[in-house]
Amino acid sequence: MSLVLRLLRQWDIQLMVIPGLILILIFSYIPMYGVLMAFQNYSLYKGFFHSPWVGFKHFEMFFHSPEFFQVIRNTLVISLLKLCIGFPAPIILALMLNEVKNMLFKRIVQTVTYLPHFMSWVIVGGIMMSLLSTDNGSVNLLLTRLNLIEDPIHFLSLPEWFWGILVSTNVWKEIGFGSIVYLAAIAGIDPSLYEAASMDGASKFKQIYLITLPAIMPVIIIFMILAIGNLLNAGFEDILLLAGNPVLRGVSDVIDTYVYRVGIQNSRYSYATAVGLFKAILSIGLLTAANYLAKRSGNSLW
Amino acid sequence: MQVTRLPFSDRLMHVVIYFLLLLLAISTLYPFWNSLVISFNKGLDTSMGGVTFWPRSFTVENYQIVFKDQRLLNGFAISILRTILGTVLSILATSVFAYGLSKRELIGRQYYMIICIITMYFSGGLIPAFLLIRGLGLVNSFWVYIIPSLIGVWNMIIFKTFFQELPKGLEESANIDGCGNWGIFLRIILPLSGPVVATLSLFTAIAHWNDWFLPSIYITNENLLPIQTMLRQILNSNIATEQMANMDAAAQSQMAKMQSVTGKSLSMATMMVATLPIVLVYPFVQKYFVKGVLVGSLKE
Question: For residue B107, which residues of chain A lie inside 8 Å, CB to CB?
Answer: 3, 6-7, 10, 14
pLDDT value of position B277? 86
How many CB pairs lie under 8 A apart between chains A and B? Answer: 257
Question: For residue A143, which residues of chain B lie inside 8 Å, CB to CB?
Answer: none
Nearest-CA distance from A144 to chain B in Å? 11
H or E, element range at B108: none
Question: For residue A33, which residues of chain B lie inside 8 Å, CB to CB?
Answer: 124, 128
Beta bridge partners of A40: A53
Is residue A26 very low, low, confident or very high in pLDDT (cuts 50, 70, 90)? very high
Question: For residue B130, which residues of chain A lie inside 8 Å, CB to CB?
Answer: 263-264
Q: Is the pLDDT of residue B23 over 80?
A: yes
ipTM: 0.86
Q: Is the pLDDT of residue B244 over 60?
A: no
pLDDT value of position A278? 93
Cα–Cα distance list, B29 to A156, B11, B15, B46, B199 (Å): 21, 27, 21, 20, 25
**Per-residue burial over B277-289, b = 16 or more CB atoms within 10 Å of its CB, e = otherwise:** bbeeebeebbebb
Q: Is the pLDDT of residue A185 over 70?
A: yes
Question: For residue A133, which residues of chain B lie inside 8 Å, CB to CB?
Answer: 264
* Torsional class of B43: left (φ above 0), alpha (ψ -120 to 50), beta (otherwise): alpha
Choose the weakest-confidence range: B20-24, B151-155, B162-166, B204-208: B162-166
* Torsional class of B7: left (φ above 0), alpha (ψ -120 to 50), beta (otherwise): beta
Question: For residue A89, which residues of chain B lie inside 8 Å, CB to CB?
Answer: none
- Opening angle at CA B267, ends B263 and B270, nearest 5: 145
How far apart, in whole angstroms, are the C-alpha atoms of residue A58 and residue A45?
19
Report the residue of chain A nearest B19, measured CA to CA: A96
- Mean pLDDT, to the nearest integer, of A99-128? 91
Q: Is the pLDDT of residue A110 over 60?
A: yes
Q: CA dihedral in degrees (A160, A161, A163, A166; nearest 10)? A: -160
Q: Is the pLDDT of residue A59 over 60?
A: yes
Q: Is the pLDDT of residue A88 over 60?
A: yes
Nearest-CA distance from B158 to chain A in Å? 16
DSSP state of B34: H
Beta bridge partners of A53: A40
| Contact state of A138 with B17 under an 8 Å Cβ cutoff | no
- Mean pLDDT, to the nearest integer, of A244-265? 89
pLDDT tens profile A192-245:
888 888 888 888 888 888 889 988 988 888 888 888 888 888 889 999 988 888
Is residue B185 very low, low, confident or very high in pLDDT (cuts 50, 70, 90)? confident
Three-state secondary structure call for residue B58: strand
Q: Is the pLDDT of residue A9 over 90?
A: no
Q: Is the pLDDT of residue B250 over 70?
A: no
How far apart, in whole angstroms, are the C-alpha atoms of residue A263 and residue A273?
7
Question: How buried is A293 (Cβ within 10 angstroms: 0-12 exposed, 13-18 middle, 19+ buried)?
Answer: middle
How far apart, in whole angstroms, are the C-alpha atoms of residue B83 and residue B89?
10
B contact test, residue of A18, A130, A186 with most B CBs within 10 A: A130
- What percentage of chain A has pLDDT greater than the value 90? 38
pLDDT value of position A170? 95
C-alpha B267: how far from chain center: 20
Residue in A164, A125, A260 with CA at minimum distance from that of residue B210: A125
Between A96 and B239, whose confidence is greater? Answer: A96
A119 neighbors B275 (Cβ within 8 angstroms):
yes
Report the residue of chain B nearest A137, measured CA to CA: B49
- What percentage of chain B has pLDDT greater than the value 70? 86
Pick from A10-19, A144-153, B87-96 the range whose average pLDDT is largest.
Answer: B87-96
Between A88 and B289, whose confidence is greater? Answer: A88
Pick from A49-53, B39-43, B63-67, B148-152 the range whose average pLDDT is largest.
Answer: B148-152
pLDDT value of position A80? 94
Pick from A224-238, B142-156, B158-172 the range whose average pLDDT is largest.
Answer: B142-156
Q: Is the pLDDT of residue B288 over 80?
A: no
Beta bridge partners of B41: B58
- What is the residue-averaged pLDDT of chain B? 83
Query: What single letter denotes the amino acid at residue A44?
Result: L
A contact test, residue of B10, B20, B51, B127 with most A CBs within 10 A: B127
pLDDT value of position B254? 57
Residue A151: CB atoms within 10 Å: 8
- What is the residue-averaged pLDDT of chain A? 88
Q: Is the pLDDT of residue B197 over 60?
A: yes
B60 in contact with A at a CB cutoff of 8 Å? no
| Contact state of B122 with A115 under an 8 Å Cβ cutoff | no
Cα–Cα distance list, B272 to A135, A171, B63, B105 (Å): 20, 22, 9, 51
pLDDT tens profile B62-90:
888 888 888 889 999 999 999 999 999 99
> Which CATH class, in words, describes the domain spanning A63-297?
mainly alpha
Nearest-CA distance from A77 to chain B in Å? 22
Nearest-CA distance from A279 to chain B in Å? 10
DSSP state of B185: I
Q: Is the pLDDT of residue A299 over 50?
A: yes
The DSSP string of chain A is --HHHHHHHTHHHHHHHHHHHHHHIIIIIHHHHHGGGGGB---TTT-TTTSPB-TTHHHHHHHHSTHHHHHHHHHHHHHHHIIIIITHHHHHHHHHHHH---HHHHHHHHHHHHGGGGS-HHHHHHHHHHHH-TTT-HHHHHHHHTTS-SS---GGG-HHHHHHHHHHHHHHHHHHHHHHHHHHHHHTS-HHHHHHHHHTT--HHHHIIIIIHHHHHHHHHHHHHHHHHTTT---SHHHHHHT-SGGGHHHH--HHHHHIIIIIIT--HHHHHHHHHHHHHHHHHHHHHHHHHHHHHT----
Q: Is the pLDDT of residue A48 over 90?
A: no
Question: How buried is B37 (Cβ within 10 angstroms: 0-12 exposed, 13-18 middle, 19+ buried)?
Answer: buried
- What percentage of chain B has pLDDT greater than the value 90? 35
Q: Is the pLDDT of residue B242 over 50?
A: no
- Mean pLDDT, to the nearest integer, of A87-104? 92
A69 neighbors B162 (Cβ within 8 angstroms):
no
pLDDT value of position B252? 60
Global confidence as pTM? 0.87
Between B51 and B142, whose confidence is greater? Answer: B142
How far apart, in whole angstroms, are the C-alpha atoms of residue B18 and residue B55?
29
CATH superfamily of B63-300: MetI-like (1.10.3720.10)
Q: Sketch the domain layout of chain A as residue ranges.
A: 63-297
pLDDT value of position B295? 61
